[in-house]
Structure 1
C-alpha cells in the first residue's frame, strides 16, 4: 500500500476532496494545498576498531529482527544528520562518536507498521572515543566486531545496508 492512500482529508482545511496529484503528492481540490511525500532521513555508521574490524549489530526489532545491521536510525526533527548519527550510535552502542565523515547515500524502503516508508539513508565513517565501552542498547540486541573479510552481506536485513556494505568493502579494498 502506498502511504498516500491513507491521507484521505486535506490537513489544511479538512476537505475530503484531497486527491492524487502525482505519484508523490496529493492536492486539495477545495483549498489548493498540495502535500508532497518526500523520503525520511536516516543515518548509518561504519565504525572500525583499532584492529580494522567493523562494528555490527543484531536487530532487536522488526523489520529484519535478528539480522545484522549497522548502528543508525532516523534523523529527528530539528536535528542534523551529523547530530543524528552521534545520537543513534550512542543510543544503540553506548559509544561516543568523536568524528564522522559523510561517505554516500542510498535510497531505501523501510517497512514499518504495514507501511512502506521511503528513506534516504546517509552513511558515515565514524570514529568513537572508547570502543571498550560498547554495550548493546535500544534497537540493538547485541553488538560485535567483525573482521571485514568475515562480513557476509546476505546476513544483513536491510537492502540499503547490503548495498552500502558492497560499496564500503570495495572502498576498503582499494
Structure 2
C-alpha cells in the first residue's frame, strides 16, 4: 500500500455512487480511510438534512464488511469564516484517529504515511490546497452524479424524479432515502424547501439574481448573548441572532438596531445601543442562506453591566421567544442555530 491512511473530506448529503467510487479507489491505495463529514453539527435544513450518525450509517451500508473494517467516519464543523480553525480541527481529527488506531503499535503516529484524496477539478475542491503536508491522490469526478441534484428530487415529492436516482445511489442508500421520505423529519424539511422555492420564484423575473442585504446584532452582556427563536420559515424553531432585511431608506446600522428592538423588546435606547457597538463585519459566504445570495452586516454590541442584572427581553415580531444565553452554554448550541449565526458569533468572540 502506498499510504497507511488516506483522508476523504466531504458533506455526503447524501452518500452517492461518486463518493463510493472514491472510497474504493482510496482503499486500493491505503490500508485505511478516514472519512470526514463536514457540516457535522449544523441544524437540519434542506441543504444539510442528515446528521453525522445517519451519514455514517449510509456510508457503511454501501460497503462490504471488509471495507467497513478499514474505514473511520468522523464529523467536523464548517468554521465558515475561519479556514485555519477548520484546518486545525481536521488535522486534530486525523491525528486522534491515527493515535487511537495505532495505540498498540510501537511506531510514532508522525511516521505513518498519510495522504488526502479528492478531485481538484471539483467546484468545491479549494480545501485540498489547505493540506500541503499530505500528498494528494487525484481522482476523476464521476459525471452526472451530484448530491445537490439528488436532494432536489428528494424534496420534490410531487415529481417522479427520485426514482431516476437509483443509478446514482448505492442500493442500500436509495432504500434508506426512500423510507426517509415517509418520516416526520422529511415532512418538516420538505415544507421548508417548498417555502424557499416559492421565495426564490418570487424574484425569478428580475433581470439579474438579486443580492439581499441583512443586518444582525450580536449583543453581549455580562457573559451572556441575546438570542431569539424564529417564529416563521425558514429555520422555524431555530435560535438566531436578532436581525433582518434592511429597509430601502435606512442605514444598515440603524436596521440592525431596529430589528434588535423589534424582535426582543430590549428596553435600551437606540442611541445607547449605537454607542455600545464595538465592532462590525460583513459576512458573505455565497451559501450562507438558502433564500439566495444574502450578505449580512453584523454588529457586536457590548452592554455595560449596571448592577440591575440582565435587561428584560421578550419575543416579538418575527420571534416567538427571546432570551439571554450564557456564553458557555451557547458553545453547545451549534446544531440549534439558524444558518451561519453560530460562526458569526464565534468570529466576534475571537475578537473580544
Residue 318 of structure 2, aligned match among 134, 139, 142: 139
* Distance in 1 (alpha carbons) for counterparts of 2:254 and 2:278: 12
* Distance in 2 (alpha carbons) for counterparts of 1:171 and 1:127: 12
1:150 aligns with 2:310: no
Q: Residue 48 of structure 1: CA displacement? A: 1.3
Q: Which runs of 5+ in 2 are unaligned?
A: 1-196
Per-residue CA distance 1:29-54 (angstroms, 9 max, x = gap): xxxxxx443421101111112x2210
Q: Who is 1:54 aligned against?
A: 225
Residue 42 of structure 1, aligned match among 214, 217, 242: 214
1:121 aligns with 2:293: no
Moved >3 Å (runs of 4+): 1-5, 35-38, 108-111, 127-131
Structure showing greater relative contact order (alpha-carbon pairs closer than 8 Å, 6 or more residues apart): 1
* Distance in 1 (alpha carbons) for counterparts of 2:348 and 2:279: 12
Q: Residue 106 of structure 1: CA displacement? A: 1.3
Q: Which has the larger displacement, 120-129 or 62-71?
A: 120-129
Higher percent of residues as helix: 2
Q: Which has the larger displacement, 80-89 or 36-45?
A: 36-45
Q: Who is 2:283 aligned against?
A: 106
SS of 1:117's partner is coil
What is the root-mean-square deviation in Å for CA atoms of aligned residues? 2.6
For normalisation by structure 2, the TM-score amounts to 0.36
Per-residue CA distance 1:50-99 (angstroms, 9 max, x = gap): x2210011111111111110100000011110110111011101124422
**Kept after mapping to 2: 8 A contact 1:4/1:37:** no
Q: Residue 101 of structure 1: CA displacement? A: 4.4
Q: Which has the larger displacement, 58-67 or 98-107?
A: 98-107
* Distance in 2 (alpha carbons) for counterparts of 1:75 and 1:39: 12
Question: 1:74-113 to 2 correspondence within 5 Å?
Answer: 74-95=245-266, 96=268, 97=270, 98=272, 99=274, 100-107=277-284, 109-111=288-290
SS of 1:145's partner is strand
Aligned length: 140
Q: Residue 171 of structure 1: CA displacement? A: 2.5
1:63 aligns with 2:234: yes
**Kept after mapping to 2: 8 A contact 1:148/1:169:** no
Cα distance, 1:37–1:148 mapped onto 2, change above 3 Å? same
Higher percent of residues as strand: 1
- Specify the structure having the higher radius of gyration (Cα): 2
SS of 2:338's partner is coil
